[in-house]
């Protein structure tokens, strides 16, 4: 008869703590990309100022340690430079490239650009970023250089559009400048006038810019 084996009792498995369960289900913060930091910095710039855009503040917002920042950026200036270049790329280079690829006729394009400040939430967000960056540029040389480059690129493109309609060089430049100032002004004075007032302004500006061909 085989010897009776001593009874053994398996140790009960310890239930995972709620904290560990939450940690396991929470996305790894190490997966943050440079773009996540740039977006957070841009939002902080809009709602506060350039002085508020600091590594420790961003790390707290993103719920990571300061050390996580240095996986993607060499220092704060590196982040700020990439905020500016990201804005330049998204709000100028990509837009112009898209218009060129679409082959929009110059007159249709000018009418569309007159409407651009009224394109809902995307226009409001773009205007907010632009105003924040221009405020930054008034006191910072690096930001000023990027803003100047953006303005020059946009004006050159608008100049080209008017030249394609047959306007002479000097008049094309003047009309381009007038259109650009109008677009900036509508973003700045967004709350001025009723819906009908804004519609009338758009029509008047478009007709004025395209007259005399």
* Tens digit of each residue's pLDDT (9 = 90 or more) over 3-39: 444 444 444 444 444 444 333 334 444 589 999 999 9
Say if 72 falls within a structural domain: yes
Q: What is the average pLDDT across 139-147?
A: 97
pLDDT at 41 over 60: yes
Q: What is the average pLDDT across 187-209?
A: 91
Say if 2 falls within a structural domain: no
Contacts of 128 (CB under 8 A, 6+ apart): 46
Say if 19 falls within a structural domain: no
Say if 7 falls within a structural domain: no
Q: How confident is the prediction for the chain on average, in pLDDT?
A: 86
In whole angstroms, give the CA distance from residue 52 to residue 64: 17
Residue 82's pLDDT band, with cuts at 50, 70 and 90, is: very high
**Could you tell me how many residues make up the chain?**
213
Burial class from Cβ neighbours inside 10 Å (0-12, 13-18, 19+) for residue 53 reads buried
Say if 64 falls within a structural domain: yes
For the ranges 72-81, 99-108, 133-142, the lowest mean pLDDT is seen at 99-108
By percentage, how much of the chain surpasses pLDDT 70? 86
The CATH number of whichever domain residue 40 belongs to comes to 1.10.357.10
pLDDT value for 30 = 54
Q: What is the pLDDT of residues 156-182, one digit of tens each?
A: 999 999 999 999 999 999 999 999 999
Say if 9 falls within a structural domain: no
Quote the number of domains for the chain. 1
Contacts of 152 (CB under 8 A, 6+ apart): none
Q: What is the pLDDT of residues 114-139, one digit of tens each?
A: 998 888 788 888 899 999 999 999 99
Domain that holds residue 132: 31-210
């Amino acid at each position: 008869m085989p010897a009776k084996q001593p009874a053994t009792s398996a140790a009960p498995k310890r239930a995972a703590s709620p904290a560990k369960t939450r940690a396991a289900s929470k996305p790894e913060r190490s997966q943050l990309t440079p773009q996540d930091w740039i977006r957070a910095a841009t939002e902080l710039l809009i709602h506060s100022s350039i002085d508020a855009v600091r590594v420790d503040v961003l790390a707290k917002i993103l719920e990571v340690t300061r050390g996580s920042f240095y996986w993607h950026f060499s220092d704060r200036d590196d982040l700020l430079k990439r905020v500016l270049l990201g804005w330049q790329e998204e709000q100028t280079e990509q837009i112009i490239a898209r218009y060129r690829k679409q082959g929009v006729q110059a007159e249709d394009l000018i009418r569309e650009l007159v409407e651009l400040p009224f394109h809902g939430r995307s226009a409001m967000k773009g205007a907010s970023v632009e105003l924040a960056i221009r405020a930054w540029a008034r006191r910072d040389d690096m930001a000023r250089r990027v803003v100047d480059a953006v303005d020059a690129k946009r004006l050159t493109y608008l100049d080209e559009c008017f030249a394609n309609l047959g306007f002479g060089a000097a008049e094309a430049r003047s009309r381009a400048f007038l259109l650009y100032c109008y677009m900036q002004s509508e973003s700045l004075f967004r709350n001025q006038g009723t819906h009908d007032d804004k519609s009338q302004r758009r029509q008047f500006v478009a007709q004025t810019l395209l007259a005399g061909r």
